[in-house]
Amino acid sequence: MWYLCRLYDAATAERWGLVNAVVPADRLLAEAKAWAAEIAEKSPTAIRFLKQSFNADTDHQAGLSNLAMSALDLFTASPEGLEGAAAFAEKRPANFVQHVNWH
């Protein structure tokens, strides 16, 4: 695709898995709203991380920084992060056993 610079129709793009759906123009807004509603049901944190990870390569250093700061914000507010901070402040070993998730 990149080397030949060919244009492909919507049906081909859908068949190749490059787009989720092909709809008539008069149904486009309704279809987009349906997709948005489905995405809105998902975890906002997961969606934020996905969006930032997809953009990190094209946003270069700023994109990586945004992703890292979001992860840091999430970690510092988590029970695991709070245990680590408390252990550091109390000069004791952290007890992360309760935060291990083997699923």
pTM passes above 0.75: no
In whole angstroms, what is the distance from residue 69 CA to residue 49 CA?
11
What does the chain come to in residues?
103
Domains observed in the chain: 44-93 (1.10.12)
What number of other Cβ atoms are within 10 A of residue 67's Cβ?
A: 19
DSSP state of 37: H
**Would you give per-residue pLDDT tens digits along the chain (103 residues)?**
878 889 999 999 999 999 999 999 999 999 999 999 988 888 777 787 888 777 777 777 777 787 788 888 877 788 888 888 898 999 998 887 777 665 5
Provide the pLDDT for residue 16: 95
DSSP state of 100: -
Q: CA–CA distance from 37 to each of 26, 34, 101 (Å)? A: 19, 5, 30
Provide the pLDDT for residue 101: 66
- Give long-range contacts, CB 8 A cutoff, 24+ apart: 14-21: none
C-alpha R_g of the chain: 21
